[in-house]
Chain A
Amino acid sequence: MLRLHCPHCDELRDEEEFSYAGEAYIPRPSAPESVDDATWGDYLFMRRNTKGWFWEQWQHGAACRKVFAVRRNTATYEISGTWTLEEGKPLFLAETRGEAA
Chain B
Amino acid sequence: MQGQKYSAWSLFKHGLRHHKTWEPAWRRAKLQPAYDVVIIGGGGHGLATAYYLAKNHKVGRIAVLEKGYLGGGNTARNTTIVRSNYLWDEAAAIYEHGMKLWEGLTEDLNFNVMFSQRGVFNLGHTLQDMRDIERRVNANRLQGIDAFVLNTAEVKEKIPQLNCSKSSRYPVLGASWQPRAGIAHHDAVARGFARAASRLGVDLIENCEVTGLDVEGGKVRGVQTSQGYVKAGRVGCVAAGHSSVLARMAGLRLPVESHPLQAFVSESMQRVIDTVIMSNAVHGYLSQSDKGELVIGAGIDGYLGYGQRGSPHVIDHTAAAIIELFPQFSRVRMNRQWGGIVDVCPDACPIISKTSVQGLYFNCGWGTGGFKATPGSGHVFAHTIAHDQPHPLAAPFAIDRFHSGHLIDEHGAAGVAH
Contacts and interface: CB of A to CB of B under 8 A. Distances in A.
Interface residues of A, number: 29
A94 B179 CA distance: 56
Contacts of B402: 41, 44-46
Contacts of B14: none
Contacts of B245: 51
B48 interface: no
B307 A75 contact: yes
B257 interface: yes
Name, among A23, A44, A54, the residue most crowded by chain B CB atoms within 10 Å (CB to CB): A44
A94 B253 CA distance: 21
A37 B312 contact: no
Contact of B254 (A15, A22, A47, A72): A47
A3 B257 CA distance: 22
Interface in B285-317: 302-307, 311-313
Contacts of A22: 257
A37 B404 contact: yes
A16 B303 CA distance: 12
B256 interface: yes
Interface string A9-39: 0000001100110110000000000000110
A1 B304 contact: no
A46 B302 CA distance: 18
Interface in A58-101: 72, 74-77, 100-101
Name A's interface SS: mixed
Most chain A beta carbons < 10 A, residue from B251, B305, B312: B305
B327 interface: no
Contact of A56 (B251, B304, B311, B313): B304
A54 B304 contact: yes
Contacts of A23: 304
B403 interface: yes
B311 A49 contact: no
A16 B302 contact: no
Given A44-B402, A48-B244, A74 B254 contact: no
Contacts of B306: 51, 74-75
Contacts of A49: 244, 254, 256-258, 304
Contacts of B303: 2, 20, 56, 72, 74
A1 B244 contact: no
B173 to A, nearest CB: 29
B243 to A, nearest CB: 8
A3 B404 CA distance: 40
A35 B253 CA distance: 18
B255 A37 contact: no
A2 B346 CA distance: 25
Contacts of A46: 253-255, 402
Contacts of B258: 49, 51, 74
A1 B313 contact: yes
Nearest to B344: A49
Nearest to B304: A74
B242 to A, nearest CB: 7
A100 B244 CA distance: 13
Contacts of B311: 1-2, 15
B356 to A, nearest CB: 11
A50 B311 CA distance: 20
Interface string B126-137: 000000000000
Interface string B40-58: 0000000000000000000
A22 B307 CA distance: 17
A4 to B, nearest CB: 10
A2 B403 CA distance: 35
A77 B307 contact: yes
Contact of A38 (B254, B312, B403): B403
B108 to A, nearest CB: 35
Contacts of B304: 23, 49-50, 54, 56, 74
Given A15-B313, A101-B253, A37 B403 contact: yes
A46 B253 CA distance: 6
* Most chain A C-beta atoms within 10 Å of own C-beta, residue among B245, B306, B346: B306
Which of B244, B245, B255, B304: most chain A CB closer than 10 A?
Answer: B304
10 contacts: A2-B303, A2-B311, A16-B313, A37-B404, A38-B403, A41-B402, A41-B404, A45-B255, A51-B242, A51-B306
Given A44-B346, A74-B306, A101-B253, 5 more contacts: A41-B404, A46-B253, A47-B253, A51-B244, A77-B307
The 7 A-B pairs at the shortest CB distance, nearest first, are namely A20-B302, A49-B244, A45-B255, A41-B403, A46-B253, A45-B402, A75-B306
